[in-house]
Structure 1
Amino acid sequence: MTTYISEIDVSLNNVEEQNLRGKGFKQLPGNLNKEAGGNCIYLWYKEGPKAITKIQVTFNDGMTTGLTRAGYKKINKNLNAGARGDCIYLWSYQGSGEFDTPIVEIDVTTDVNNEAAKFAFGWERMACDLNRKAGGAWIHIWVKRVKQTYICDITATDSFGLDADLFGNHYIRVDENTNRGAGGSKVFIWYRQTTDPKRALADLKVSINDKEAREYQDQNYRNVNVNLNDETCGNQVYLWYKQEESSNPIKAIALLLNTALADDYRKAGLTVIEKDLNAGNCSHAQYLCVYQ
């Protein structure tokens, strides 16, 4: 019988570690608070016949409402416990159907040198740095699914009002604000996955000015009609995509805030779109990366 990642949990201290071990959970190496000065925090998982199909991260209260309404399960343990920084929580969901592909492996990276190469082995990186605003190492959770998946739909939101509907329609939220540090709206990119490469997106672009937007429109790209820089003093930034049958469909996207890794990501075969999603702001640079 095939087994999947069926439960995840978090330990904040030695007592919780012993408790989870006694319940049959397996511990992943890698302190989720590495170099941030807080508790030694670890991610644990259990395998079973009913799969987790989605994992999300929240770092503010607004992000939680849609997850609760959509039936996600919260692990009520702050991943920044004992450190400064945002209160960060994990959420999991066990879904089924075309847009819910079971997770069969889970991993954590605490060393940036171990990130880029993982994409070639079918891993997906979760966007939120688990040391968000706490300093320390860059910490990311990664998942691998039972089959290769492809991105078939992409959208964006500039408020939390549509979250429950999008989660209910099996979208995954890229859990980092594209307006980070710039003020303005809380803007998030969302995507949906399929195992059918014929339904996948063929290309993604980013425009940071009117000239680029006109060029992509003339090239028959379709627009995601949400300004990723909404309500800031910066440029108008938009996503553009093509959805057509391709010999090189999009398998994964990644939001790269540690832009020093751009060369590593390129060497690993990703396309790094070096157009800052915060263009025109004196704030945190972000690049969108595409793996095909």
Structure 2
Amino acid sequence: MMMMMMMMGVRGVFLLLPVFLLGLTIPSMATYVTELQVSFDNAEGQQFRSQGFNKIDLDLNKRAGGKFIYLWYKRGSVPITKVQVSFNDQQDVGLSNAGYTKIEKDLNSGAGGSWLYLWSVKGSGEFDTPIVDITVTAGNDAEMFGLGWERVACDLNRKAGGDWIHIWLKREAQTYICDVTVTDSFGSDHAHFRSGYIRVDEDTNRGAGGAFVFIWYRQTTDRRKALKDLQVSITDGQYQQYQQQNYQQVRVDLNEGNSGVLEYLWYKKQGTNNPIKAITLLPHKDLVADYDRRAGVTVIKKDLNTGNSGRYENLCFYQ
């Protein structure tokens, strides 16, 4: 009886112990990135600051001229899970139909580049992992992968010159690439967004004419479902090689509609125990050497515009 009373007493004390002494954590109500804004002047900046937004102090038009443009974010309890950038009206349609929120401010305002708009969505499905931090970089930025960040592919100085400007995201948990696909038209965009896909927001046909071709991927927190390798074939021999090595082909030509060679994306889910964590596109040849020497980064050294006059582009992934 005495022993039972002692146990009950200990149990009672246990229940009164502070949570931190038990090694437990209580999720913060302000853990997540929940809202984004863009300022064009000091007055807007002051307004956003008074509303609880945090400023990322890097000009999105850096060295390109134009307005001084800054990205702002707010923290809260209902997270943004995906961020996209559009640079033509056709891209906007799918994003809008899929329920994404658009910031109606051109990120290249005054700089003469592409008309760029930022979009975000608060998803809650299997392929949505909350974003807990966001930042912006200028210039070579490959080291960010090793620090747990995920790159938004579109250069925010697209066609404007200046520094290479990219948004980077950090998620609540480690994610892995579990699916990839390719589109050569905009008709299925909203369906892909609703199915949890993220679009790599740079055209693999950039400057080459032909169709707008985009690579898409989905993320999972389940390491077992991750892709293990990606390849690109640009010759018949490579096509046959990847078939024989049991890669799966994505059956859309990355050069669709232009004069280049037939190019296909291939993936594999079996093999090494080294899952792919991130995918991006490098539309600047000068970036290749810096990315290629980073631990865990693989640059597929095959120009996605082989055989045409388009921009030199490489697919890149991080493991």
Residue 52 (1) aligns with residue 61 (2): no
Residue 111 (1) aligns with residue 152 (2): no
**How far apart, in 2, do the equivalents of 1:136 and 1:200 lie?**
36
**How far apart, in 1, do the equivalents of 2:285 and 2:182 lie?**
22
Write out the 4+ residue segments of structure 1 that deviate beyond 6 Å after TM superposition. Answer: none
Q: What amino acid does structure 2 have at the position aligned with 1:157?
A: T
**How far apart, in 2, do the equivalents of 1:291 and 1:110 lie?**
20
Query: Which residue number corresponds to residue 203 of structure 2?
Result: 177
Among 37, 55, 65, which residue is 1:9 paired with?
37
**How far apart, in 2, do the equivalents of 1:111 and 1:257 lie?**
13
Deviations 1:216-269 (A, max 9, x none): 011110000000000100111100011237410100111011221222112212
Among 231, 253, 273, which residue is 1:247 paired with?
273
Q: What amino acid does structure 2 have at the position aligned with 1:82?
A: G
Q: What amino acid does structure 2 have at the position aligned with 1:198?
A: R
Structure 2: where are the runs of 5+ without partners? 1-26
**How far apart, in 2, do the equivalents of 1:245 and 1:152 lie?**
14
Query: Which residue number corresponds to residue 301 of structure 2?
Result: 274
**How far apart, in 2, do the equivalents of 1:190 and 1:99 lie?**
13
**How far apart, in 2, do the equivalents of 1:111 and 1:231 lie?**
32
Among 208, 224, 229, which residue is 2:250 paired with?
224
Q: What amino acid does structure 2 have at the position aligned with 1:79?
A: L
Query: Which residue number corresponds to residue 131 of structure 1?
Result: 157
Query: Which residue number corresponds to residue 178 of structure 2?
Result: 152
For the Cα contact (< 8 Å) 1:5–1:104, is it kept in 2?
yes
For the Cα contact (< 8 Å) 1:153–1:193, is it kept in 2?
yes
**How far apart, in 2, do the equivalents of 1:92 and 1:235 lie?**
35
Among 74, 78, 98, which residue is 1:70 paired with?
98
For the Cα contact (< 8 Å) 1:98–1:195, is it kept in 2?
no
Identity of aligned residues (%): 58
**How far apart, in 1, do the equivalents of 2:287 and 2:64 lie?**
20
Among 47, 53, 59, which residue is 1:25 paired with?
53
Deviations 1:129-171 (A, max 9, x none): 0011111111000000000000000000000011010000010
**How far apart, in 1, do the equivalents of 2:139 and 2:68 lie?**
16
**How far apart, in 2, do the equivalents of 1:259 and 1:234 lie?**
18
SS in 1 for 2:270: coil
**How far apart, in 1, do the equivalents of 2:317 and 2:108 lie?**
29
Deviations 1:200-224 (A, max 9, x none): 0011000011111111011110000
For the Cα contact (< 8 Å) 1:199–1:245, is it kept in 2?
no
Shift of 1:97: 2.5
Shift of 1:106: 0.3
**How far apart, in 2, do the equivalents of 1:74 and 1:160 lie?**
18
Q: Number of aligned pairs?
A: 290
For the Cα contact (< 8 Å) 1:152–1:194, is it kept in 2?
yes
SS in 2 for 1:230: coil
Stretch of structure 1 that moved more, 244-253 or 175-184: 244-253
For the Cα contact (< 8 Å) 1:200–1:244, is it kept in 2?
no
**How far apart, in 2, do the equivalents of 1:53 and 1:276 lie?**
31
Q: What amino acid does structure 1 have at the position aligned with 2:195?
A: N
**How far apart, in 2, do the equivalents of 1:54 and 1:200 lie?**
19
**How far apart, in 1, do the equivalents of 2:292 and 2:214 lie?**
24
Residue 79 (1) aligns with residue 107 (2): yes
**How far apart, in 1, do the equivalents of 2:134 and 2:247 lie?**
34
**How far apart, in 2, do the equivalents of 1:199 and 1:245 lie?**
12
**How far apart, in 1, do the equivalents of 2:310 and 2:178 lie?**
31
For the Cα contact (< 8 Å) 1:198–1:245, is it kept in 2?
no
Among 275, 282, 285, which residue is 2:312 paired with?
285
Measured on the aligned residues, the alpha-carbon RMSD in Å equals 0.9
Residue 208 (1) aligns with residue 234 (2): yes
